[in-house]
Structure 1
Amino acid sequence: MLSRTYGVSKLHRITRYYQLARLSTTVEDTYKSAYQQSVNNPQEFWAKQAEDLSWLKKWNNVCAEPNSPFPRWFEGGKINLCYNCLDRHVEDGFGQQIAAIQESPVTGTRSQYTYEVLLDQVTHLAGYLARDCGIKKGDRVLIYMPMIVECMIAMLAAVRIGALHTVVFGGFSPDQLALRIKNARPRVIVTASYGVEPKRRVAYKAAVDEALKKSTCEDVVERCIFFHRPMLPRVGIEDSKFFVDWGQAMSLGRPHDAIPVESTHPSYLIYTSGTTGMLQQAPDFINYIIWGRVCVWRGTLSILKRNDTSFQNRFGRHRTPPY
């Protein structure tokens, strides 16, 4: 298991969790002060923010070439976003803390997930991607799923092994999905049988089948991990070598440690809509310090929402419309 080679004490981290949770309710009051500090002394300000992350190797300097168009943040540092999202909280004694509550008004189901449960599932899927699919640092994984907890697990599993993931909105047509497959050229696609709306089901697998044919990338995509939605009819699998059941992938995958990556290593690709022209790919190179910071601010709280589900955290309940 990876351990932090640099960082503050456990007591300090836990204290900071609660301090930051309290501060998050008064962000408006503290924003101006924080902004001014970042302008007056950016090196000191961002170094302090980075102290709240778990670094697997400390950086050499905060920002190299700060006046260039592409400054290099935390050069020499090694970090992993998945480690900061899950492992650190389990190591700090929050393993039994509820991380996410999944509640579906459409299906009438409710589930909750602790940090230990999420970490276990993420490490197994990461192991399957790395060892059984051969996914390595820098490879691409495309995720086309409803906003269910398995979508989050797939994202974190990719990040854990240094792969780049791109999440495709479930409302996109097979044509739009095909464009993103053609551009991203993923080695693995993760999808589901259906999405759920109040009056209909959205056939995700059928869209993937059509998109693969239109993308002309069938030789690039090596495998599709397929999650059957519970309580819904199972869809047929034509190619058992290409389509792998989610449960099978989980059982085959052996737990995989979070690999250290550079602080500037991208974790995902995000696309413009493409409605007014060709879609553009934008790799997220600075998300580690930003999203790592979010993980600390929300330390032991749920941060996930879902289309046909509401997710609840200690700040209250959030609902998003189904699609």
Structure 2
Amino acid sequence: MPDNIDNLLVETRRFAPDEAFTGQAVATPALAERAAADRLGFWADQARELVTWSKPFTRVLDWSNPPFAKWFDDGSLNVAYNCLDRHVEAGLGDRVAIHWEGEPSDTRTLTYAELTREVKRAANMLLDLGVTEGDRVVIYLPLIPEAVISMLAVARIGAIHSVVFGGFSAESIRARVDDAGAKVVITADGGWRKGAVSPLKPAVDEALDETLHGASTVDTVIVVKRGENPVDWHDGRDLWWHDAIARSGDDHVAQAFPAEHPLFILYTSGTTGKPKGILHTSGGYLTGAAYSHRNVFDLHADTDVYWSTADIGWITGHTYVVYGPLANGATQVIYEGTPDSPEPGRWWDIIEKYRVTLFYAAPTAIRGFMKAGRQIPASRDLSSLRLLGSVGEPINPEAWVWYRDVIGGGITPIVDTWWQTETGSIMISALPGITTLKPGAAQVPLPGVAIDVVDDHGEPVGRGEGGLLVITEPWPSMLRGIWGDPDRYRETYWEKFADKGYYFAGDGARKDDDGDIWLLGRVDDVMNVSGHRLSTAEIESALVSHPLVAEAAVVGAADETTGQAVVAFVILRTSQVESMSPDDAVAALRAHVGHEIGAIAKPKTVMIVQELPKTRSGKIMRRLLRDVAEGREVGDTTTLADTSVMTVISAAL
């Protein structure tokens, strides 16, 4: 079998930077020049420019024991101080930090001074409960201000937070509590989702039930009153947030901790077996978060209103809702609910209301809006937007162009960002104002980041070829390990190219003729069809480029003749559902893929569905579709936003 991944889809549209945007852009060509001249010196400069150090560092990188990196390790800082106090001390206390919008349209605005005061009170509350440096605190909350306050309060006192998405099962919570050895859980009586209050505390109660799971390490559960849900109460363990914080003063001096002090553990989802706790530390992570947020999003903190739609339960919420924006003194929007509650235009209403300028969302959401039709955003005033971002998985070219034209008014640059929980911050992206944009391409490594595409032996592929995406040099925001399991850390991320010292991301990619990078999806999703290694992402892009299609997911299924056969699951655009029969639609789509890519990529089976299995962060769970396509029992669906989707698909097939 050939080492390289075939790439057959051609995208030729280009969008040069707007001169007016370039004239005021934060990132300039000098950024890349500085990084190329002295990579470690460049990162030292970023750390000094963007972070306030209680004790300045003198060592930039200690890579004496790979793959265990230490960045800025003889320096010390307090992450929460960097996100809060220093802005107040600089005279920015009246600047809005957070415009919060609840799903039922209740709102709350917090300035930097107000947010600092709330975090100090929450820090004192935790200290009063016996939480100390190094203790672990699990946070299981909806996207409400207390979620951000909790994270920063834990960081402020040197404890370690582990956020669990407010929707995961009791089993998921318990696995994370046990693995981290958590002392405290912060939860809520409920959170608003799709027009109703979704209960949260019952899942925590079940997770901590000694009759079901034995004794746990948790001695306190703090409960935020959000949904007015009745809750069972465990005297001696449970406390209302509002009662506990009322007893706490707002005087707290942030203590400095070493740069390599653990900041958080974030568990990856969607796999079976023991959860994988990704560990991030303080100084390097904050440097990467602030640097990438400022330059990729072209942040002008005194005028921009930024909105990332991610939940804090995912790494995007950690880096680009909490730590990056607040470290940079940004004003941002946070929204509790779903994009279609109470109607499909809710996100656009929020952009119009708060005059959002920088907007960051997932391709799956964008394709969902395409399905609903452009008339919905067209009825709102989105003229405040000046930059759009994409995160989560590769965005297909047609969705990219729709996003720019319909949401961005045909003028906004789009930053299509590639990164992972493990990388901590964005690694590949266009730089707005500098990069000529290519729809569907991740494009270029950020200055200071070393990326390559290699074959199975670790040798770089040529331009125009596909292979495996690797990071060839350590970077400040990199994960420091898997919590409690250094051997698994080595095996998972470093073993494949141990002789080269490369981090293997698990993604396929290709270099185009300019050397720009296009993501081809997870290597697990690459199919071998008649000896050709085909990317699911390219076939999905071809399908979505047809006017019938709103969204598509492609998997490979075992086939006696070709080794694997292409199986496509397709959602039609609402406006196109009645335009032709299902059989005619299937025939048209098969022919279209053959025309766009080639006969080798033509799906053997096309199944028209109403919805695709997605996690609550918007990622399509292709492994479940492979189960269906190959006639197996469908695997674990607990992380899906709607677990009934797979039942409907299985029954229809």
TM-score interval for Structure 1 and Structure 2 normalised by the shorter chain: 0.7 to 0.9
Which AA in structure 1 matches 2:120?
T
Are 2:178 and 2:216, in contact at CA under 8 Å, matched by a contact in 1? no
Q: After TM superposition, give the deviation of residue 160 of structure 1 in Å.
A: 0.1
Q: Secondary structure at the match of 1:152?
A: helix
1:315 corresponds to 2:315: no
Map of 1:78 onto structure 2: 76
Q: After TM superposition, give the deviation of residue 44 of structure 1 in Å.
A: 1.6
Identity %: 31
Which AA in structure 1 matches 2:330?
L
User: Which of 309, 313, 330 is matched with 1:301 structurally?
Assistant: 330
Are 2:95 and 2:331, in contact at CA under 8 Å, matched by a contact in 1? no
- Hey, what's the Cα distance between the residues in 2 that align with 1:76 and 1:201? 47
- Hey, what's the Cα distance between the residues in 2 that align with 1:119 and 1:84? 11
Are 1:98 and 1:300, in contact at CA under 8 Å, matched by a contact in 2? no
Q: TM-score, normalised by structure 2?
A: 0.42
RMSD: 2.9
Q: Cα–Cα, structure 1 residues 159 and 173, in superposed 2: closer, same or farther, change >3 Å? A: same
Map of 1:270 onto structure 2: 266
Q: Cα–Cα, structure 1 residues 187 and 120, in superposed 2: closer, same or farther, change >3 Å? A: same
Map of 1:143 onto structure 2: 139
Map of 2:86 onto structure 1: 88
Q: Secondary structure at the match of 1:207?
A: helix
- Hey, what's the Cα distance between the residues in 2 that align with 1:72 and 1:224? 34
What runs of 5+ residues in structure 2 fail to find an aligned partner? Answer: 1-20, 294-322, 339-349, 366-615, 617-640, 642-653
Q: Secondary structure at the match of 2:165?
A: coil
Q: After TM superposition, give the deviation of residue 73 of structure 1 in Å.
A: 1.2
Which AA in structure 2 matches 1:306?
Y
What runs of 5+ residues in structure 1 fail to find an aligned partner? Answer: 1-21
Which AA in structure 1 matches 2:44?
A
- Hey, what's the Cα distance between the residues in 1 that align with 2:164 and 2:157? 20
Are 1:121 and 1:250, in contact at CA under 8 Å, matched by a contact in 2? no
Q: Cα–Cα, structure 1 residues 280 and 25, in superposed 2: closer, same or farther, change >3 Å? A: farther
User: Which of 145, 148, 158 is matched with 1:152 structurally?
Assistant: 148
If asked which structure has higher relative contact order (CA below 8 Å, sep 6+), I would say 1
Q: Cα–Cα, structure 1 residues 51 and 23, in superposed 2: closer, same or farther, change >3 Å? A: farther
Q: Cα–Cα, structure 1 residues 221 and 24, in superposed 2: closer, same or farther, change >3 Å? A: farther
- Hey, what's the Cα distance between the residues in 1 that align with 2:355 and 2:160? 28
- Hey, what's the Cα distance between the residues in 2 that align with 1:23 and 1:225? 48
Q: After TM superposition, give the deviation of residue 302 of structure 1 in Å.
A: 3.0
For residues 130-153 of structure 1, what are the alpha-carbon distances to aligned partners after superposition, in whole Å with 9 as ceiling and x for unaligned? 1x1111111100000001111000
Are 1:194 and 1:201, in contact at CA under 8 Å, matched by a contact in 2? yes
Map of 1:16 onto structure 2: none
Q: After TM superposition, give the deviation of residue 71 of structure 1 in Å.
A: 3.1
Which AA in structure 1 matches 2:234?
D
Q: Cα–Cα, structure 1 residues 236 and 249, in superposed 2: closer, same or farther, change >3 Å? A: same
Which AA in structure 1 matches 2:88?
V
1:243 corresponds to 2:217: no
Q: Secondary structure at the match of 2:72?
A: strand
1:194 corresponds to 2:236: no
Q: How does 1:60-75 map to 2 (within 5 A)?
A: 60-65=58-63, 68-75=66-73
Q: After TM superposition, give the deviation of residue 288 of structure 1 in Å.
A: 3.0
For residues 234-283 of structure 1, what are the alpha-carbon distances to aligned partners after superposition, in whole Å with 9 as ceiling and x for unaligned? 42452232111111221222332222111111210011214244321111
Which AA in structure 2 matches 1:291?
A
Q: How does 1:1-323 map to 2 (within 5 A)?
A: 26=25, 30=28, 34-52=31-49, 53-65=51-63, 68-104=66-102, 106-130=103-127, 132-213=128-209, 216=213, 218-229=215-226, 232-254=227-249, 255-285=251-281, 286-293=284-291, 294=293, 299-303=328-332, 305-308=334-337, 315-316=357-358
Q: After TM superposition, give the deviation of residue 66 of structure 1 in Å.
A: 6.5
Map of 1:17 onto structure 2: none
Which AA in structure 2 matches 1:129?
L
For residues 171-216 of structure 1, what are the alpha-carbon distances to aligned partners after superposition, in whole Å with 9 as ceiling and x for unaligned? 2111211211121121010001111122432110111111112773
- Hey, what's the Cα distance between the residues in 2 that align with 1:24 and 1:73? 34
Q: After TM superposition, give the deviation of residue 165 of structure 1 in Å.
A: 0.2
Q: After TM superposition, give the deviation of residue 319 of structure 1 in Å.
A: 7.8
Q: After TM superposition, give the deviation of residue 63 of structure 1 in Å.
A: 1.8
Are 1:81 and 1:288, in contact at CA under 8 Å, matched by a contact in 2? yes
Q: Cα–Cα, structure 1 residues 317 and 68, in superposed 2: closer, same or farther, change >3 Å? A: closer
For residues 5-39 of structure 1, what are the alpha-carbon distances to aligned partners after superposition, in whole Å with 9 as ceiling and x for unaligned? xxxxxxxxxxxxxxxxx999746x64x75345334
Are 1:103 and 1:110, in contact at CA under 8 Å, matched by a contact in 2? yes
For residues 90-136 of structure 1, what are the alpha-carbon distances to aligned partners after superposition, in whole Å with 9 as ceiling and x for unaligned? 000010111110112x3121211101111111001101111x11111
Are 1:160 and 1:257, in contact at CA under 8 Å, matched by a contact in 2? no
Which AA in structure 2 matches 1:114?
T
Q: After TM superposition, give the deviation of residue 61 of structure 1 in Å.
A: 1.8
Q: After TM superposition, give the deviation of residue 218 of structure 1 in Å.
A: 4.3
Greater Cα offset, 295-304 or 251-260: 295-304
- Hey, what's the Cα distance between the residues in 2 that align with 1:185 and 1:259? 24
Q: Secondary structure at the match of 2:148?
A: helix
Q: After TM superposition, give the deviation of residue 304 of structure 1 in Å.
A: 5.6
Are 2:98 and 2:334, in contact at CA under 8 Å, matched by a contact in 1? no
Which AA in structure 1 matches 2:96?
I
Q: How many residues align?
A: 296
Q: Secondary structure at the match of 2:262?
A: coil
- Hey, what's the Cα distance between the residues in 2 that align with 1:66 and 1:44? 18
Q: TM-score, normalised by structure 1?
A: 0.81
Are 1:302 and 1:313, in contact at CA under 8 Å, matched by a contact in 2? no
More helix by share: 1
Map of 1:13 onto structure 2: none
Which AA in structure 2 matches 1:268?
F
